Structure 1
Amino acid sequence: MTPELVARHGHVTRPKPGTGIKIHFKDAKGDLIKTIEGNEGDDVLSLAHEHDVDLEGACEGSIACSTCHVILSPEHYDVLEEPGDDENDMLDMAFGLTDTSRLGCQVKLDKKLDGMVCTLPAATRNMFVDGKKPTHH
């Protein structure tokens, strides 16, 4: 990438192994899918896509669907700010909603979230019927 493009679009630097904020993705049965590390400010949905975790995100993080619904570990859920009205509206449509459910696109990493578990629900409710799969941007 040319320096000009980096200046216009920025550059994402991933943390060196062992230095980032760890997130553990689990499936609906509680089995570990993958542990990844991100930077402060990264959102769970983008990191899932970057690391090939099967978290849909049909609206690409615009808070217009519930397909990036994740269930967080209670101790980490409690350190996050309350979800806004838009997020709550979308969560109302989420499959398998729990007391610690959030939209992955709205969960921004913070050092207090290190070691957080994000459990993927058994299914999602998606308005897409054409089999569209998420892609990393």
Structure 2
Amino acid sequence: MGRVTLVRFFKSSGDLDREIEAVPGTNLLDLAQASGQALEGSCEGSMACSTCHVIVAAEDFGRLPPASEEEEDLLDLAAHANRRSRLACQLAVPDGAPFSVTIPPSAYNLDR
């Protein structure tokens, strides 16, 4: 399979929900939805909403490129946002050590 990164999805309670192996560069929203996470992504990754908001683990936040101004503006509208909030549609799974995100308590998926 080649190189993979272990991606950990945590519930808002802090409990581990799922661990998924992903090829670095995989879009985080696509991975989350394929693994049954409750992220709606209603704009289908066009960065027109904040329904794919996740909170990146403190130890992993610095591994990501900075958010664009447009992403920052959308995160201002997201419930339960904090300084480690990002939009999953704008994140590629990084290479290397395990990568962890928490699904905020306000996340939901209309298809679930």
Q: Same fold (TM over 0.5)?
A: yes
Residue 38 in structure 1 maps to residue 22 in structure 2 = yes
3-state SS of 1:83 partner: coil
CA contact (8 A) 2:56 2:102 kept: yes
Deviations 1:103-135 (A, max 9, x none): 0011111214x31111010104x9xxxx8427x
**Counterpart in 1 of 2:12?**
28
- 2:12·2:103 contact (CA, 8 Å) conserved in 1? yes
How far, CA to CA, are the matches of 1:69 and 1:27 in structure 2? Answer: 13
Pair 1:57 & 2:41 matched: yes
Q: Aligned residues, how many?
A: 112
Q: Aligned residue for 1:116?
A: 99
Pairing 1:94-109 to 2, within 5 Å after superposition: 94-109=78-93
* Matched-pair contact (CA < 8 Å) for 2:6–2:99: yes
Letter in 2 for 1:123: S
CA RMSD, 1 decimal: 1.9
C-alpha contact 2:40 2:51 (8 A) present in aligned 1: yes
Which segments of 5 or more consecutive residues in structure 2 lack a partner in the other structure?
A: none
**Matched-pair identity in %:** 35
Give per-residue Cα distances to partners, 1:60-100, cap 9 Å, x unaligned: 11101101000011121112111001111110111101111
Match of 1:4 in 2: none
Q: Distance in 1 between matches of 2:94 and 2:8?
A: 15
Question: What is the deviation of 1:55?
Answer: 1.4
The partner residue of 1:90 within 74, 79, 85 is 74
Work out whether residues 9 and 103 of structure 2, in 8 Å CA contact, stay in contact via their aligned partners in 1: yes
Give me the TM-score of the superposition, normalised by structure 2: 0.90
Q: Deviating runs (4+, > 3 A) in structure 1?
A: none
Where 2:72 maps in the other structure, the secondary structure is helix
